[in-house]
Amino acid sequence: MAPRWPQGRSCQQPAWRAEGACGSGRRRGAARTQHGGDGDAAAGGPQGGEAERGAGRREAPGGAGGHHHHGHGLHEGPRHLRGRGEAHRLGGRRRGEGEQAGVRQSTEDQVQQKRWKVETNSRLDSVLLLSSMNLPGGELRRRSAEDELAMRDYLQEGDLISAEVQSVFSDGAVSLHTRSLKYGKLGQGVLVQVSPSLVKRQKTHFHDLPCGASVILGNNGFIWIYPTPEQKDEEAGGFTTNLEPVPLSDREVISRLRNCIVALVTQKLMLFDTSILYCYEASLPHQIKDILKPEVMEEIVLETRQRLLDLEG
């Protein structure tokens, strides 16, 4: 299957500057192709993955090199209205594993024509095409002009979303999509930004921890901690945000998890569901705000390290 290469990438540049009819004509063509591709992906998951793999391998990142954001991650869309040109990225590029589709969390940066520009803690801002976004109810249909006008109603500047990497452009910019209703806009919770190298690459990125909260470990280093939703079957795709106050017990769990993750990151331990859970359990004798004290941090992480070693050996 031919890789779904975003058509006319050169269109992307004038896309948000030029608003002429001809420009939109070209983009419409591009969007249609994308949408057609989406239909295919919905039909056959593995093919979609393969296409990505193909795209990934074929692309030789030039210059500073792109990064293979294959995998789940939380994209932080650019938060500024003005758009922070290049999202800051420390360190060198990451070579993706290639196989897994990555989940990314991102925050909205800009609402452009038929696409959102999102920040994903990468070298360049990523794009989320309107056609790649879930529609309410999960219906599959061509996006109309009304959908385009209603874009801002759904995702505004500053919003956080979880999405998957669809493809990577030759310059390293990433195109995102929300493949199923488990992705989409994120509701109440806490975001922790860590270095992407500390997040272990795993098959699942959405974890429901037994302590009472859920965690999304994004490949781009964005960790989202949120209260476990009551009904697990209804996956709304983020269309309805629950604005009710989170109960105090859940808050304590979330704050503790957040501090544990910060402690693990400070001590340079890999982040995955088991290490976070062990760290949480090790921190229980201490008060939540004490976890960030250097002595307590060292003690907790040492105990976590010990338990992880015992688990392996």
Partner 1 sequence: MASVVLSEAEKLYIVHGVQEDLRVDGRGCEDYRCAEVETDVVSNTSGSARAKLGHTDILVGVKAEMGTPKLEKPDEGYLEFFVDCSANATPEFEGRGGEELGTEISNTLYRIFSSESCVDLKSLCINPREHCWVLYVDVLLLECGGNLFDAISIAVKAALFNTRIPKVRVLEDEEGSKEIELSDDPYDCIRLNVDEVPCVVTLSKIGYRHVVDATLQEEACSLASLLISVTSKGALTCMKKVGKGSLDPESIFEMMETGKRVGKSLHTSLQKILDEEESLGTTRQKVGFLG
List 55, 160, 265, 301, residue binding partner 1 (CB under 8 A): 160
Rounded to a whole number, what is the largest CA-CA distance in the chain? 65
Say how far apart CA 271 and CA 268 lie, in whole Å: 9
Q: Write down how long the chain is.
A: 313
Structure tokens given for 29: 């063509």
Q: Which stretch binds partner 1 (CB under 8 A): 49-57, 65-73, 132-140, 257-265?
A: 257-265
Say how far apart CA 142 and CA 299 lie, in whole Å: 55
Q: Which stretch binds partner 1 (CB under 8 A): 30-38, 43-51, 166-174, 238-246?
A: 238-246
Binding to partner 1 in span 289-308, by CB under 8 A: 289, 291-294
Q: Is 90 in the site for partner 1 (CB under 8 A)?
A: no
Residue 14's nearest CA partner among 37, 34, 30 is 30
> Taking a C-beta distance cutoff of 8 angstroms, is the pair 100, 46 a contact?
no
Say how far apart CA 310 and CA 301 lie, in whole Å: 14
Closest to partner 1 by CB, 47 vs 195, is 195
Smallest distance from partner 1 to CB 212, Å: 15
Closest to partner 1 by CB, 71 vs 227, is 227
Q: Is 79 in the site for partner 1 (CB under 8 A)?
A: yes
Binding to partner 1 in span 98-117, by CB under 8 A: 107
Measuring CA to CA, how many Å separate 148 from each of 30, 31, 47, 134, 157? 15, 12, 28, 13, 16
Q: Is 195 in the site for partner 1 (CB under 8 A)?
A: no
Smallest distance from partner 1 to CB 121, Å: 13
Q: For residue 97, report the phi and psi dihedrals to the nearest 5 degrees.
A: -70, -25
Say how far apart CA 91 and CA 93 lie, in whole Å: 7
Q: Which stretch binds partner 1 (CB under 8 A): 5-13, 64-72, 173-181, 248-256?
A: 248-256
Closest to partner 1 by CB, 146 vs 295, is 295
- Indicate the angle between helix axes 248-266 and 273-283, nearest 10 degrees: 110
Q: Is 260 in the site for partner 1 (CB under 8 A)?
A: no
Binding to partner 1 in span 273-292, by CB under 8 A: 287-289, 291-292
Q: Is 239 in the site for partner 1 (CB under 8 A)?
A: no
Positions that interact with partner 1 (CB under 8 A): 79-80, 84, 88, 107, 157-160, 185-191, 241, 243, 245-246, 248, 251-252, 255-256, 258-259, 262, 287-289, 291-294
